[in-house]
Structure 1
Amino acid sequence: MAQSINIPPFFDGDHYAHWKTKMKFFLKARDYKLWDVVEDGPFVPQGSKAEWSADDRKKMELNCRALHMLFCAFGPTIYEKMSSCENAKEVWDKLEVTYEGTNEVKETKIGLLTLEYENFKMDPEENIEKMFDRFSTITNGLKGYGEAIPEEKLVRKLIYSLLESWDSKRTAIIEAKNLKILKLDELMGSLLTHQIMKKNKEDEKKREEIRAMGEKKLKSIGINVNAMALKSSTCHHVNSSEEDSEDEEMNYLFNKLARFMKSKM
């Protein structure tokens, strides 16, 4: 069953980076001011509660709403860890430290992902879909840590990561497309189309090879087949002669019986 758009995305401790992105947009979609409270911290009015204005209370309410949505997104275990927090920003920051690590840990993870990105190449055994999934995991990981890569660079990186067997297609794309405005989805569509056509050609080539081998095999046994056909024809002729002889004998006996019965009448 699809999750209601009014219910915050659930978080139980797994796949934090995915949940973080979904939760961020959930808050923004409900009220962009809610995300401001999470990112910048709550509004703190001056003076005692009795001195708060209606506008002060409305601004304070934003923190309560954001905090409520975050708590509603947690399972029991996560809630127990976060329940002592008094504002939404405190919850958000604590989640980041808990599931992403300190700044030092984050920098280490960013460094590892950056190294993976720089060394990224298409594996000989993978198709375009698998290559793109692996590429997206790396780039989305960097984006989750605030290291988003411009689309133009992603497009160029992906094109030059293709195997040598894709050289002709790579050259065609570079010559025909403006890489500065080429979208990643458009590039993927072009590569997938080429992959399908390439596979069809390879399959047709295999079928032709199998057909040629079959014809060669038939030619090598063609004499034997003809000999067997001749033998079969001869056997059929002999059998036919024997059947004709038996038919003549039956006709002779039938006629003889008919004459005998006629003489008794």
Structure 2
Amino acid sequence: MNNAESQNISKPSFFEGNNYSHWKAKMTVFIQSLDYNLCDLIVDGLNLPTIRSKNGDVLPKPRNTYNDNDRRRIQLNAKAKHIIICAINSSEFNRVSSCNSAKEMWDRLEVTYECTNQVKDAKISMLVHDYELFSMKEDENIKSMFTRFTNIINALQSLDKTYSNSELVRKILRCLPRSWMPKITAIEEAKNLNILPLENLLGSLMTHKLTMQKREYDEEKEKKKKKKVIALKSSTNEDSDDDKDDDDDEDLALFKRKFKKFLANKKKFGGKPNKKFHQKGESSKKEEVICFECNKPGHYKSDYPRLKKKEFIKKKKAMVATWDDSDESSSDEDTRE
């Protein structure tokens, strides 16, 4: 039977040997939708009509002696058996074909796939352990977390282990991370957890998550806007600094030109440095030195009068030879000054 046929509301969910707990839950709902008495018959079992012998023994009642009530009970059992047979494959049919009642067929499938009570208790213990340690993961949203939680609860319920609604609600609130503490406190103060449906809690948590995401988006957008403003201001300041540097470079170039012009004029006319700038202790030092030209104290060789005259003549000849026409205009102006 294909998936399209198994989803038909007039046919039971088909079992192929996998995921028995899921099939069992769907079959229970399907049988209850047909006739609630059928579900009770499968769970509680069929009491076949019996009679007592003269010796007091309980014997099956002969079919020719059935009354209307007996026939109705037998017919319900046959209907339940038919529903189960239509919902299993040929391998499972061979497993339950020898059963006389629908309860026997149902119990045999349970024992086959849920094993004995000992194995069933072991499964319950494992699922309860998962339930107690259940918590929301860091990268998990509310919807996926609730799906995992529901799978554990449904598996426990198929093994006849159930929790009250208030216990489930409190468990969900406990498994949320610390960032949800304000919302948890608000729910505990505003809601009665004993009567709060689990679906309403899910809706409230999802709404809060959407609000948090919207707030984070707005904050991130504001941060990006501030970064753009800061970057614009820094670029503006850099431009102004560049303009200032350009002005400083122009002033420095002008100063260099003027200083070169001053040095050229000074060399041309043989200027000497101003003696006012000499330090005080220089005269006493000169008295101690001896000139290498005339071997007399009180002056250096460079200060010897005859030597200065010779050097001045040499400098004048060199300046006349190397002076170009470009400096004539400036030298004439300086001369007039």
With normalisation by structure 1, the TM-score equals: 0.80
**Within 2, Cα distance between the matches of 1:42 and 1:225?**
96
Which residue number corresponds to residue 95 of structure 2? 81
Residue 16 of structure 2 corresponds to residue 16 of structure 1: no
Which of 44, 47, 54 is the aligned partner of 2:48?
A: 44
**Within 1, Cα distance between the matches of 2:212 and 2:157?**
33
Q: Aligned partner of 1:97: which letter?
A: V
User: 1:143 deviation in Å?
Assistant: 1.2
Q: Aligned partner of 1:92: which letter?
A: W
SS at match of 2:192: coil
User: 1:223 deviation in Å?
Assistant: 5.8
Q: Cα deviations across residues 176-198 of structure 1 (Å, max 9, x unaligned)?
A: 11111111111111100000000
Moved more, 113-122 or 73-82: 73-82
Which of 176, 196, 217 is the aligned partner of 1:162?
A: 176
Residue 154 of structure 2 corresponds to residue 150 of structure 1: no
User: 1:43 deviation in Å?
Assistant: 3.1
Q: Aligned partner of 2:34: which letter?
A: R
Which residue number corresponds to residue 250 of structure 1? none
User: 1:210 deviation in Å?
Assistant: 1.8
Which residue number corresponds to residue 53 of structure 1? 67
Which of 169, 185, 205 is the aligned partner of 1:171?
A: 185
Q: Aligned partner of 1:187: which letter?
A: L
SS at match of 2:171: helix
Q: Structure 2: where are the runs of 5+ without partners?
A: 51-60, 242-337
Q: Aligned partner of 1:164: which letter?
A: R
Moved more, 143-152 or 84-93: 84-93
1:112-191 to 2 correspondences below 5 Å: 112-191=126-205
User: 1:84 deviation in Å?
Assistant: 2.7
Contact 1:110 1:145 in 2 (8 A): yes
Q: Which has the larger radius of gyration?
A: 2
Which of 4, 13, 36 is the aligned partner of 2:8?
A: 4
Which residue number corresponds to residue 108 of structure 1? 122
SS at match of 2:18: coil
Q: Cα deviations across residues 17-55 of structure 1 (Å, max 9, x unaligned)?
A: 121111112112211221122112223123322222232
Which of 75, 100, 107 is the aligned partner of 1:93?
A: 107
**Within 2, Cα distance between the matches of 1:151 and 1:85?**
38
**Within 2, Cα distance between the matches of 1:33 and 1:181?**
30
**Within 2, Cα distance between the matches of 1:134 and 1:225?**
59
Q: Structure 1: where are the runs of 5+ without partners?
A: 228-265
Structure scoring higher RCO (CA < 8 A, sep ≥ 6) equals 1
- Percentage of identical aligned residues: 41
SS at match of 2:124: helix
Q: Aligned partner of 2:151: which letter?
A: T
Contact 1:8 1:73 in 2 (8 A): yes
With normalisation by structure 2, the TM-score equals: 0.64
**Within 2, Cα distance between the matches of 1:82 and 1:212?**
74
**Total equivalences in the alignment:** 228
SS at match of 2:103: helix
**Within 1, Cα distance between the matches of 2:221 and 2:17?**
52
**Cα RMSD (Å) of the superposition?**
2.0
Higher helix share: 1
Q: Aligned partner of 1:25: which letter?
A: V
**Within 2, Cα distance between the matches of 1:221 and 1:71?**
81
Q: Cα deviations across residues 73-126 of structure 1 (Å, max 9, x unaligned)?
A: 112332232223232111110111111121001101111111111122211121
Q: Aligned partner of 2:95: which letter?
A: K
Contact 1:12 1:75 in 2 (8 A): yes
**Within 2, Cα distance between the matches of 1:133 and 1:121?**
12
Q: Aligned partner of 2:122: which letter?
A: T
